[in-house]
Structure formats: structure tokens, C-alpha cells
Structure 1
Amino acid sequence: MKKPLVSRLYKFSDATLVTTGKEKIAFMRRDAAAFTPFGISAALLSSLETAINTFSNTITDIEAVSNQTGVTASKDAKADQLRVAIRTVMARVELKYGTSNAVYRKFGTEALSQQSDSDLLITGKRVVRVGTEFLPTLTANGLTVAMLTAITTLCNEFENLIIDLKIKIGERDIAQEDRVEAGNNIYHILVKYTTMGLSIWETSDVAKYNDYVIYNTINSEAPEVATLPAV
């Protein structure tokens, strides 16, 4: 069965989750004596703090996107180099056979600039095969083994970059899912603990009660007191 999409339980930023979590832990340590009878120990608070610190230090989506963008730029630049190398060969083929000849069409380089990455890769490899086949008749027009070898090298480099990009996309998806799950776990525990704090101080201390309120909202408009998520 396919794993369901993981959604964030909290509406504010990850940075707010970190700062809010540390703030509430500080309040709970201040009020440790009131929490101890409910089983919320110093060890549990330290465990939550460790989880928050680990979460804070993990790679963010901004960094993952930057890594992915860098590989995409390299791939696109390599594709441009490959197109130039293919056109250099095809200029020799056109000079020899023209563009309507069956030999020219065998290279299959139509709409080169519009081809997808996979189609461009296949085209590059085909140009090398067909170019090698007709090399004896195209040598006089300037086609060389070095040109075909250069295209093979570019194809290999281009293919590696395509694979690298796929890996980066996959890594980003995994990292984001892991990050959402980690954030949700922190939020769930944090709400459970602060809900206990609200219960403790609800009828005895307004100031301390307010210390344990979490506003599950992006901004200060229409704040919503967070409730315990279902498990």
C-alpha cells in the first residue's frame, strides 16, 4: 500500500516551532515541581530539547532546492554543449547530402532545440553511430573521429547529470518527508506537555496559564489555541 502524503500539523514556520519549543521547555523547567506529578520529568524535557536541536540542524528545503537548482543548471549547460557539438556534425552532413536526403534524415536531429533530455541523449548517441557509419564519405567535408568522440563524452557527462538530478530530487523528497514527520512529532509532544500546563494553571495563575498557550497560526490575526493532535 502506498504511504499517504505527510502533512504538517502546525501552520507556523519551522523556525517558530524551534523557538516556541525551547521557550515552553524553559517554562516547564521553571515549573518542574508542578509537572513532576504528571510524569513529565527532566529526562523527558531533555529528550524533547534534543529532538528540537536535531530538527533545527537538519537541512532545510531552501538548501535542498539550491542543491537541485545547481545540478539542473549544470545539466542544462551540458545539454547546450551537446546540441552545439551535434550541429557541428550536421553542418558537415548537410554540406555533403543536403537536408532532404535519406542519409541526413537518418541522423534524426530534427527540432533539436525542442527535444527533451532523454530524446537529446538518444539523438547524441545516434549521431555518433550514424556518423561513424558514414565517416569515410564525410571526412572530405571536415567530419573527424575526434568530433564523434567529443559527442560520446558529452553524452556520458549529460547522462550522469540527468541521473544526478533525479537523485537530488529524490533526496529532497525524502528529506522533506523526514523533516515534516520530525516536526510533527515535536509539535505533538509539545502540545501534549503545554496542554498539561494549561490544565495546571487554568484556575490558579493567569500569567503562567498564558505561558503555555501555543498559537497555531502564521501571524497574529485571529489566533487559534492549538489542541492536541489525534494519534
Structure 2
Amino acid sequence: MKKPSVVRLYTFSDATLVTTGKEKIAFMRRDATAFTPFGITATLMTSLETAINAFSNTITDIEAVNSQAGVTASKDAKADQLRVAIRTVMARVELKYGTSEAKYKKFGTEALSKQSDSDLLITGKRVVRVGTEFLAALTANGLTAAMLTTITTLCNEFETLIIDLKIKIGERDIMQEDRVEAGNTIYKTLVKYTTIGLSLWETSDVAKYNDYVIYNTINSEVPEVAAPLTV
């Protein structure tokens, strides 16, 4: 059965989750005596703080995106080099056969600039095979074995970058999911603890009550007061 997509439980930023969490822990430590009867010990507070610090230190999606973008740029640059190398060969083929003969068409380089990465890779390898087949006939037109070797090298490098990009995309998906799950765990624990804080001070101390309100909105205008949770 396919795992359902992980959805964030909070609408504010991860940075806000970190700062809010540390703020609430500070209030809980101030009011530690009041939390003790509910089983919320100093050890549990420290455990939450440790989780928040670990969450804060994990790679963010911005970093993962930039890492992915770097590989994408390298892949695209290599694709351009491969196209140039293929066109260099095809210029010699055109001199020999023109563009309408079957021997020219056998190279299969039509719409080269519009080909997908996978199609371009296949085209590059095909140009090497067909170029090797016709090398003797095309030598007088300037085709060399070194040109074909260059294309083979570029194809291998291009294929590696394609795979690297796929890996980066997969890694980013995994990191995103893990980060959302970690954030949700922190948020749920935070709501559980602050709900106790709200119940403690609801009728006796407005200032302390407000210390435990979590605003689950971007603009912080509407407070989210969780339903009472069991400890």
C-alpha cells in the first residue's frame, strides 16, 4: 500500500517553529513546579529542546534545491557540449551525403536542440556507432576517430550527471518528508505541553495564559487553542 503524502500540521515557517518551541520551553521551565503533577518533567522538556535543536540543524529545502540546481546546471552545460560535438560530426556528414540521403538520416539527429535528455543521450551514442561505420568514407570530409571518442566521453559524463540529478531529486524528496515528519512531531508535542499551560493559567493569570498560546498562522492574528490532550 502506498504511503500517503506527509502534510505539515503548522502553517508558519520552520524557523518560527524553532523559535516558538524554545520560547515555550523557557516558560515551561519557569513554571516547572506547576507542570510536574502532569508528568511533564525537566527531562521531557530537555528532550523536546534537543529535538528542536536537531531539527534546526538539519538541511533545509532551500539548501537541497540549490544543490539540485547545481547538478541541473552542470547537466545542461554538458548537454550543450554534446550537441556541439554532434553538430561538428554532422557537418562532415552533410558535406558527404547532403541531408536527404538515407545515410545522413541514419544518424537520427533531427530536432537535436529539442530532444529530451534521454533522447539526446541515445542520439549521441548512435552518432558514434554510425560514424564509426562510415568513418572511412567520411575521413576525406574531416571526420576523425577522435571526434567520435569525444562524443563517447561526453555521453558518459552526461549520463552520469543525469543519474546524479535523479539521485538529488530523490534525496530532496526524502529529506523534505523526513523534515516535515520531524516538524510535525515537535509541533504535536509542543501543542500537548502548551495546552497544559493554557489550562493551568486560564482562570488565574492572563499573562501566563498568553505565554502558552501558539499562533498557527503566518500573520499571527488568530491564535490556535488546542483541545485538551491527555498526557
TM-score, length-normalised on structure 2?
0.98
Unaligned runs of 5+ in 2: none
For 1:105-124, list aligned pairs within 5 A: 105-124=105-124
Instruction: Tell whether 2:70 aligns with 1:77.
Output: no
Cross-structure match for 1:215: 215
Cross-structure match for 2:191: 191
Please list every run of at least 4 consecutive aligned residues from structure 1 whose deviation after the TM superposition is greater than 4 angstroms. none
For 1:78-227, list aligned pairs within 5 A: 78-221=78-221, 223-227=222-226
Please give the secondary structure, in 2, of the residue aligned with 1:40. coil
Cross-structure match for 2:68: 68
For 1:53-64, list aligned pairs within 5 A: 53-64=53-64
Q: Distance in 2 between matches of 1:97 and 1:36?
A: 88
Deviation at 1:220, TM superposition (A): 3.1
* Identical-pair percentage: 85
Unaligned runs of 5+ in 1: none
Deviation at 1:228, TM superposition (A): 5.3
Q: Distance in 1 between matches of 2:188 and 2:164?
A: 36
Deviation at 1:203, TM superposition (A): 1.1
Aligned-partner residue type, residue 175 of structure 1 = M
Deviation at 1:169, TM superposition (A): 0.3
CA RMSD of aligned residues (A): 1.3
8 Å CA contact 1:75–1:158 kept in 2: the answer is yes
TM-score, length-normalised on structure 1?
0.98
8 Å CA contact 1:216–1:226 kept in 2: the answer is no
Q: 1:29 to 1:124 in 2, by over 3 A?
A: same
Please give the secondary structure, in 2, of the residue aligned with 1:2. coil
8 Å CA contact 2:75–2:161 kept in 1: the answer is yes
Cross-structure match for 2:29: 29
Please give the secondary structure, in 1, of the residue aligned with 2:88. helix
